Structure 1
Amino acid sequence: MEPWSRYLTGTPGKAPEPFYDPLQFWIDECHRQGLEFHAWLNPFRVAQNSNELLGGNHIAFQHPEWIVKYGNLLYFDPGLPQAREFVTRVVKDIVLRYDVDAIHFDDYFYPYPLAADYPDTVSFALYNRGFRKEDKADWRRENVDIIIKMLNDTIKATKPWVKFGISPFGVWRNKADDPRGSDTNAGATNYDHLYADVIKWQQNGWIDYLLPQIYWQIGHPQADFKLLANWWKDHAYNRGMYIGHAVYKIEAGSATPAWTRPGEIPNQIRMLRKTPGIEGSAFYSAKHFNRDLFGLQDSLRNSLYRKPAIVPPMKWIDNTPPQPVKKISKRGKKVKWKTENAELVTDKPNLFVVYGNESGTFFDAGNNNFFWGIVKETELKFAPFNSKKKKYEVRISVLDRLNNESTPSKPVKVKL
């Protein structure tokens, strides 16, 4: 439905040569390595520059009345039902044709405000739904509410296991404007400037998780990382809540001392791990891990993320654990197992957790020391890691598509 991106070949609308499907490649590689793939979209953005060439089959040529220019960018007008329906069809097409694990929206709904007002007088005149001119902000928020609910309903009707998440700006509202807001002094907010009432969507169950972009340091005078993390965890409403970190701000020449020191991001992560209701972290953006981050990569690899973790399950989508391993065997240092067949996608084995404990010691699946890893295949060959070749009990549990975990298998003993 959408033309090929110019970022692939330099020419909008032109397929790669030799042909390949980059989205399918990303999905395959993620799943091969036991990762989830969340397709990140900016729903209403058409072009980063109004002079930018678009593919010849772009919907903007068929329906120029759906497009507005704001600043030097082009957007779909969220006030038009036709534009909302088109965006929903595009998302449905992705979910239907690709094995994505989630659809993920960026913080842009209505764009960040400029000096001029957003040019939606025509759509407001045609589709105001009884809102008065002085209540236009509420109308805009309802436009976004409508598409969020429409998208969630469409995604879940197409593939019930596909998650829907939002990565909003780090401040919902300032307390000065709303007693429910955070004690911050942000110049822009989701509710007042982007017309995105994200906690309403979370509370109403229209989305599966929020991933607020708290791109400030601990102790920021207007938007303190710790204060905001605690505010967001109080608004999780029994849905997923993760936090976005500003890796891109780490810089020796930064005017903010916190971003010139190696400990800022690790300290944020440690703080979140002590905050009930916050289930993980994300980092913006991945490309910055290719440069000097004052040893952050080593801190993540060797300490904070030394072991893999099970992605938190989403019980409101599926809370049924898969069937446990039906047979486990070993020969030498190789362990193999077989699984039960399952009809439903949500019940099929997806990944396997490997547990190990020294033979004769009490096994506790909740003890992180016994969590050895997560694998994709149904066999595993161990390398010796103990010069004394002790015996270890190895158990395998099954993870389904939504990361519900089965009970562990009976143990097999392996000398390692």
Structure 2
Amino acid sequence: MNAEIISVGTELLLGEIVDSNAAFVARELAARGVTLRRKATVGDNLERISGLIEEALTRADLVILGGGLGPTDDDLTRESIAAVAGETPTEDPELLIWLDDLFTSRGRVMAPINRKQTWLIPSAQALPNPLGTAPGWFVTLPPDHEFAGKRIAALPGPPREMTRMFREELLPRLNLPEWAFWAVTLHTAGIGESNVAELLGELTRVANPSVATYARRSGTDVRVAASAATSGEAEHLAAPVLAQVRAALGNYIWAEEKPGDPPATLARAVAALLAGRSLGIVEAGSSGSLAVQFAGESALKGVAISDDHATLLTLGLTPVTLGEAGLGSQAAALELAHGARERFGADMGLSVSAVTQGEAAGQVAVAIVGENLERSALVNWPGDAGQVRERAATAALNLAFRALGQSPVGQVSTGQQVNS
């Protein structure tokens, strides 16, 4: 089955509301073997909505609309579907009784404007909504229609109403064949998306199993996915490709995550590699962007955050380094990392030394030190102060992950360039 999603609402076009509904529906369809051809967003305009529906029907067997089922004049999803079907909506007596009882049970009187929510057309079934006042529609276009047999579903905009209606009312009516979708996402650090794609080569051109790359703040994600009659068969189909991806990316991978797993974070991966060792952090110029990543991690023993040079001198930075090498230097980052370790009595010290203003803005140094371990890296990106701080935290996490996961005891490495 091919499907398309149309999200209805001017507030979505203006960015006032984030469209989480379309993402939910897309995931649910993919998990059931439905091919999603396109997602579109349209404002509250009858001609544009009906035009998008007609266009989608030229490609898709199923068109799912979200939103526009309210009682006001700018809620136009019903009218748009009716126009495409060539049918006239009328009040459904059973829906009218249900809706009136709903208002009465809440101690309210139903306003005449709400009667619009009881409309149906001959080709539509009502989808019950136990959480709101807007029933959905499930339309099968009639035999004499240009798109005979194709189906249109209309779901309410509020996410709680939409998700329940989708799962409990729409899915059973679709009669989808038994199909399963299996996927795993490999999180990588210290390597750019283009480099990942180069390492994966032809693997990204295979359809099933599929391999796709996504740039994220912490690095590059690689999703390996497969579809088959059962989840076990899909996993078996994906296994050889997954093994190739693991071999190609090696130690760049810091976590693997399946749908439903708790979200993986690079800070959590670093904490796991600490293996019971404690961590102290000093941040200069990054305003706590690194420390907040470790919130709730027991490994974190202490944090110092300051942009004040005098304060940084008390945290391990020497006047000579500050004057000659500058704040965004590897020498400064190493001194602050040693200072973090000593100040908090931690096993490991991690630091960020970033410049966010002036001619040197964007220059960032990070360092990690511990017993028989000393590593630093220098990175430089253009961007505003917020971007510099965010990327500085990512660079420090990347360095810590690679140093803790790959460095033999006793190895000392400086001058590394970090690719985030």
TM range (shorter): under 0.3
Q: TM-score w.r.t. structure 1 length?
A: 0.26
TM-score of the pair, normalised by structure 2? 0.26
The structure with the greater share of residues assigned to helix is 2
| Bigger-Rg structure (1/2) | 2
Higher strand share: 2
